[in-house]
């Protein structure tokens, strides 16, 4: 687990956070806005979106209509 992505779907005003845990175990440098890490951010966002779709979560992070709560 070299990377950590933090999103706050219920507060769109908060920026995403991306940390390279192997290089920054204290999570002091947010790399989400760093163009050098755009591919990693896109990969992790894609994985999160697939997980949300598979589990019935909508983009707010809450169960979508017709899903068990």
DSSP 57: B
Note the pLDDT tens digit of each residue in 11-62: 778 899 999 999 999 999 999 999 999 999 999 999 988 988 888 876 555 5
CA distances from 2 to 12, 22, 24 (A): 25, 5, 9
Given a cut of 80, whether residue 66 has pLDDT beyond it is no
- Report pLDDT for 60: 59
Burial tier of 42 (Cβ tally within 10 Å: 0-12, 13-18, 19+): exposed
- Report pLDDT for 4: 97
- Report pLDDT for 9: 76
């Amino acid at each position: 687990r070299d990377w950590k992505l933090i999103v706050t779907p219920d507060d769109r005003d908060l920026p995403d956070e991306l940390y390279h845990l192997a290089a920054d175990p204290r999570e002091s440098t947010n790399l989400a806005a760093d163009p050098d890490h755009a591919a990693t951010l896109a990969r992790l966002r894609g994985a999160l979106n697939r997980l949300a779709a598979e589990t019935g979560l909508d983009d707010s992070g809450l169960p979508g209509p017709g899903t068990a709560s």
